[in-house]
Amino acid sequence: MNKLTTLLLLVALFYQYQLSAQTDEISGKSITKPLSEEQLKTWYHKDFNEDTIPGVSLEKAYRELLSNKKGQEIIVAVLDTKLDIHHEDLKDQIWINTDEIPDNGIDDDKNGYIDDVNGWDFLSNTKGDFIAFEHLESTRIVRKYDSLFKGKGINEIPKKQQKAYKLYTIAYQKWQKDILNNKKSVKNLSGWKKGVVRGKEILDSIAPQKEFNINELDSLINQYKQDSITQSILIRYKNAFTYELTPENLESYIKDSKQEQETTLNPDFDERAVMGDDASDINDNKYGSPIVYGDVPFQHATVVAGTLAANRSNGLGVKGFSDYIKIMPVVMVASGDEHDKDVALAIRYAVDNGAKVINMSWGKTLSQNEEWVNRAIKYAADKDVLLITAGGNNNSDNDLHKYYLNDYDTNEKEFANNFIVVGASTWNLQQLRASFSNYGKKHVDIFAPGVKMYTTEYGIDKYTNSRGTSLASPVVSGIAGLLRAYYPTLSAKQVKQILMDSGTSYDAEVEIKQEDGTKKLVPFSDLSKSGKVVNAYNALLMAEQLSKQKD
């Protein structure tokens, strides 16, 4: 999960001076139906036929199909950052390993992990230390091969090393680009900080100690039409004000960017020092700690978990997909790119400890040891576990630019039937694909809501709006959890097929950017294998029919 990419996107958006139309709101010329703040909190649970909002029909499913139906507990693993397991809307939904006695320093259930009462953290140690930053995959590859390949042409490389050389060449170019972008980020954020300070000085000269609201700022901006410099400063201040970008938190962003330089982009940074394992040995697998919660710089899992399974019965902030879902936190994400070793072991941990669905809301564009991960995916398939992952937020075609995780081998042959890749959709039929979402007729399976998602946030029982294929993935995981809770005899393969077949089709065209930079309109149905947006109501109907056939 590359926080640097997110930060750079934020900076780029700032410089367009159109923040309100470019971030969480669906940008574009024609929104099908403006939504109120209250509607936005549950829009993705709505039904298109009843509400004219292209959600997943969850409310309709509960009202018409599940009101008098009993299910069984289902464990859904969230492979991600540390998770706020004490949040008011999540605490009753957290998996408890009843075979483990808390804090006794003994592996009571003999699963190889001591005191794993709620899950496992592969990025920490028993002293309480944890990884806040880890390398980008490009940095790892450069670190491994730089001494072998730097400055050499392919004709100088032995044939048996040429595959590694090609990977190194791609990684080196990406690494250099990321370093350049990081430096631009620091420079741009510093410029924004100076602009905000200057804007406050101008406002103080107009009305000392006054706190201006948005309407007053708009009025002032209009008054300074003849003074383009002052007007520009005030516009920037207004944009910063809208997103609560104070000099203090801009300085925090600057600090984060500089820390990226020193860690994720620095080959000399020892990213595994905390665990002390051998990162090149997949069999060196007993590392980490049972502390799956905590205040880490990159908080991500809590927004994912709230979308998936926030308590539906407590009358608080968010309703997840089912109270039968118990969330198993497995930590293997920090700021940087996920390590293939941690990914593979996290999948195996979740499978071995009872998860029937695994949500993985992250990804990367390079992989050094994908065979480790592929073997773990096959292991999950053998154990009848469904894996669901985010398709990526690069506005890119995954069929042309490989994105990890995926279930295709190096020969582009699909090797698993338990794996779903999810793109992000919106409530706007004129822009049904979220502008940031990756897509692909072959490498993305289905779309799900992923914009302006109201969900839980790390902190003292906080809530927030978030977006990304990271939020679309737990929507699909939530529906998968529903199906496996109410129809436990259905296999992972069957649940995947139901989700693919039962989605909602939309006769809509969406804009995509081509390789040459030009844009074109294509049918939404061409952006994924199913061509659909996932639908809980339809999926439950289909599961009911299939379950009766099995009986």
pLDDT band at 11 (very low <50, low <70, confident <90, very high): very low
Q: Please check whether residues 313 and 374 belong to one and the same domain.
A: yes
Residue 29: CB partners within 8 Å, gap ≥ 6?
Answer: 430
Q: What local confidence, expressed as pLDDT, does residue 33 receive?
A: 56
Per the CB < 8 A criterion, the answer to whether 481 and 456 are in contact is no
Catalytic residue among 47, 51, 80, 256: 80
Q: Structurally, how many domains does the chain consist of?
A: 2
The answer to the question of residue 100 being in a domain is: yes
Residue 324: CB partners within 8 Å, gap ≥ 6?
Answer: 71, 72, 73, 74, 481, 482, 485
Q: What local confidence, expressed as pLDDT, does residue 24 receive?
A: 28
Q: What local confidence, expressed as pLDDT, does residue 134 receive?
A: 96
Q: Please check whether residues 342 and 471 belong to one and the same domain.
A: yes
Q: What local confidence, expressed as pLDDT, does residue 212 receive?
A: 87
Q: Please check whether residues 381 and 428 belong to one and the same domain.
A: yes
Following DSSP, what letter does each residue of 494-516 receive, concatenated? HHHHHHHHSSBP---EEEEE-TT
The answer to the question of residue 26 being in a domain is: no
The answer to the question of residue 430 being in a domain is: yes
Q: Please check whether residues 244 and 353 belong to one and the same domain.
A: no
Q: Please check whether residues 361 and 407 belong to one and the same domain.
A: yes
Distance CA 328, CA 312 (A): 18
The answer, yes or no, to whether residue 56 has pLDDT greater than 90, is yes
What's the token pair of residue 267? 């080959």
Within 207-337, residue ranges assigned H as helices are 214-223, 228-242, 247-262, 301-309
Catalytic residue among 135, 300, 339, 443: 300
- Distances from the Cα of 512 to the Cα of 122, 425, 518, 526, 527, angstroms: 38, 14, 9, 11, 9
Residue whose C-alpha is closest to residue 448's, from 502, 399, 377:
502
Q: What local confidence, expressed as pLDDT, does residue 30 receive?
A: 34
Distance CA 144, CA 43 (A): 47
Q: Please check whether residues 222 and 336 belong to one and the same domain.
A: no
The answer to the question of residue 198 being in a domain is: yes
Q: Please check whether residues 386 and 431 belong to one and the same domain.
A: yes
The answer, yes or no, to whether residue 27 has pLDDT greater than 50, is no
Catalytic residue among 57, 367, 437, 470: 470
Domain boundary among 235, 262, 289: 262
Tell me, yes or no, if the pTM score tops 0.75: yes
Q: Summarize pLDDT for 138-184 with one digit per residue, the tens.
A: 999 999 999 999 999 999 999 999 999 999 999 999 999 999 999 99
Greatest CA separation for the chain: 78
Q: Please check whether residues 370 and 428 belong to one and the same domain.
A: yes
Q: Please check whether residues 230 and 172 belong to one and the same domain.
A: yes
pLDDT band at 532 (very low <50, low <70, confident <90, very high): very high
CATH number (domain holding residue 50)? 3.40.50.200
Q: Summarize pLDDT for 298-331 with one digit per residue, the tens.
A: 899 999 999 999 999 999 999 999 999 999 999 9
Q: Please check whether residues 179 and 92 belong to one and the same domain.
A: no
The answer to the question of residue 287 being in a domain is: no
Give the range of the structural domain holding residue 233, as residue numbers without chain letter.
Answer: 138-262
Q: Please check whether residues 374 and 455 belong to one and the same domain.
A: yes
CA 42 to chain CA centroid, nearest Å? 19
Say if strands 453-457 and 462-466 run parallel, antiparallel, or are unpaired.
antiparallel
Q: Summarize pLDDT for 256-299 with one digit per residue, the tens.
A: 889 989 999 999 999 999 999 999 999 999 999 999 999 998 89
The answer, yes or no, to whether residue 25 has pLDDT greater than 60, is no
Q: Please check whether residues 327 and 458 belong to one and the same domain.
A: yes
300 is catalytic: yes
pLDDT band at 492 (very low <50, low <70, confident <90, very high): very high
**Of the given ranges (62-76, 206-220, 311-325, 365-379), which has the lowest mean pLDDT?**
206-220
Q: What local confidence, expressed as pLDDT, does residue 150 receive?
A: 95
The answer to the question of residue 454 being in a domain is: yes
Segment 502-509 shows an average pLDDT of 96
